[in-house]
Amino acid sequence: MSDKTDKRGRRETPRNRSGNGQDALANALRFEQAKNKVLLDEVISLEDALVNRQMAEFDAVISDDTREFWREQLLANRDKAEAALRELVQAKVGTPDGSRRQPLHNRATARPKPPGSGDPGMAEGKAVKIRNRAHELCKTEGIPFSTAFRRAEKEICGEV
Residues 23 and 70 occupy one common structural domain: yes
The per-residue pLDDT for range 64-123, each reduced to its tens digit, is 888 899 989 988 888 999 999 888 888 777 655 556 666 777 878 877 776 656 555 566
Other beta carbons within 10 angstroms of residue 114's beta carbon come to 7
Whether residue 107 lies inside any domain: the answer is no
Q: Give the mean pLDDT of the chain.
A: 81
Residues 67 and 18 occupy one common structural domain: yes
The per-residue pLDDT for range 75-85, each reduced to its tens digit, is 888 899 999 98
Name the residue range of residue 86's domain. 14-93
Q: Please state the separation of Cα 114 from the chain's center in Å.
A: 40
Nearest Cα neighbor of 133 from 120, 121, 122, 145 is: 145
Whether residue 143 lies inside any domain: the answer is yes
